[in-house]
Amino acid sequence: MNSSFSAQNSSVTIDNADEVQISLRHVSKIFPGRSGWLNKITGQASSDFIAIEDINLDIEHNTFVSIIGPSGCGKSTLLNIIAGLSSATSGEVKINGQIVNKPGPDRGMVFQSYALMPWMTVEDNIKFAVETVYPKISVQQQQRIVKENIQLVGLTGAEKKRPHELSGGMRQRVGIARALAINPQILLMDEPFGALDALTRGFLQEEIERIWEQQRKTAIMITHSIDEALLLSDRIVMMTKGPAARIDEVLEVPFPRPRDRTKVEHHPAYLELKQEMEAHLYRETRAVEAARIKP
Ligand SMILES: Nc1ncnc2c1ncn2[C@@H]1O[C@H](COP(=O)(O)OP(=O)(O)OP(=O)(O)O)[C@@H](O)[C@H]1O
Ligand SMILES: [Mg+2]
């Protein structure tokens, strides 16, 4: 199809180095198996597991990229490597030309499980991140940043609540505000709306689109939702099933911005892209099932 470009040999790389912000080269991750004698005699031994293999990808500044692929294929593994929370077994990730080997203030992460401090209020959760990343700024500046980001995600009035007093949607807003409050160049999101009901999810997707239009940060989001990926992304990275998952294809999403759901769904390319993604997910998920039932 003409709205996509194919990722031959799992590689989607760009020639102009100035445009590239995030570059992945030959990234593989092997989780070591359990081979000790105790594991052997207790029947717990396992061999090494190649989760992802030879991933090559370039992401330009201010681009919104989604990653989709069958469950367990290695999406979180890849995002955690980009976040610096986990290291690649081989290959390298560079951000603005610098090798990534630890987390940094240039990257804000939104976790599926919210990962909030349960004993802290909404504002303290956000303040904690700001203090950690910018220990030298004044208390007034910290307060201003916290307030602005609470406002940005629509949580004004809930500042003093603790996570257990919040709905799932509100918790996820805190997670988004916390990631944005450190003013990262890059926003990383691992199924940010996965735990939410359809209505809240749709609402938060629109919020992310609005915030993204304002800030235009480079964003990488893992999702299982085709419609979500089509609404928000400039590119959609489709991964194959694991083990040794790789990039199958990268779709270009041509819809004009700012986007709203109705306009996007009526765009002439929408159906073709949606069908291509459905076919990909169906094919890869079927292959996972076939591997599972193989004698
Ligand atoms: N620490 C670990 N040790 C061993 N294997 C792991 C570890 N973390 C992940 N894996 C394996 O690596 C593979 C990829 O896992 P990952 O969590 O990246 O998948 P995913 O695509 O994010 O899945 P999902 O869509 O279900 O979130 C899985 O088979 C998983 O069991
Ligand atoms: Mg995952």
Residue 224 CA: nearest ligand 1 atom is 25
Chain centre distance of CA 150: 21
State pLDDT tens for residues 168-194: 889 989 999 999 999 999 999 999 888
Residues with CB under 6 A from ligand 1: 31, 49, 51, 69, 71-77, 242
From CA 237, how far away is CA 229, in angstroms rounded? 10
Residue-level pLDDT at 111: 87
Residue-level pLDDT at 65: 98
For the CA of 52, the nearest ligand: 1
- Indicate the residue type of 221: M
pLDDT of 13 higher than 80: no
- Strands laid side by side in the 98-99 sheet: 11-12, 49-60, 20-31, 90-95, 98-99
> Which residue's CA lies nearest to atom 16 of ligand 1?
74
In 3D, which of 189, 145, 199, 146 has the Cα closest to residue 168? 199
pLDDT of 3 higher than 60: no
pLDDT of 104 higher than 80: yes
User: Which of 4-18, 87-101, 159-173, 262-276 is least confident?
Assistant: 4-18
> Could you tell me the pTM of the whole model?
0.91
Distance from residue 191's CA to the centre of ligand 2 (Å): 7
Name the percent of the chain lying above pLDDT 90.
73
* pLDDT band, residue 197 (cuts 50/70/90): confident
From CA 44, how far away is CA 40, in angstroms rounded? 6
Q: What is the DSSP string of 128-162?
A: HHHHHH-TTS-HHHHHHHHHHHHHHTT-TT-TT--
From CA 146, how far away is CA 129, in angstroms rounded? 10
Residue 4: CB atoms within 10 Å: 18
For the CA of 77, the nearest ligand: 1
Pocket test for ligand 1, best of 29, 34, 49 (most atoms within 8 A of CB): 49
Residue 112 CA: nearest ligand 1 atom is 27
What the chain holds in terms of domains, given with CATH numbers, is 4-106+184-293 (3.40.50.300)
Cβ contacts of 157 within 8 Å, gap of 6 or more: none
Distance from residue 76's CA to the centre of ligand 2 (Å): 4
Residue-level pLDDT at 12: 66
State pLDDT tens for residues 40-68: 788 777 788 999 999 999 999 999 999 99
pLDDT of 1 higher than 50: no
User: Which of 8-17, 77-86, 153-162, 167-176 is least confident?
Assistant: 8-17
Residue-level pLDDT at 42: 83
Distance from residue 269's CA to the centre of ligand 2 (Å): 28
Distance from residue 47's CA to the centre of ligand 1 (Å): 15
> Which residue's CA lies nearest to atom 17 of ligand 1?
76
As a whole number, the mean pLDDT across the chain is: 90
State pLDDT tens for residues 15-47: 666 789 999 999 999 999 887 788 778 877 778
Mean pLDDT of 1-21: 56
Pocket test for ligand 1, best of 77, 189, 221, 240 (most atoms within 8 A of CB): 77
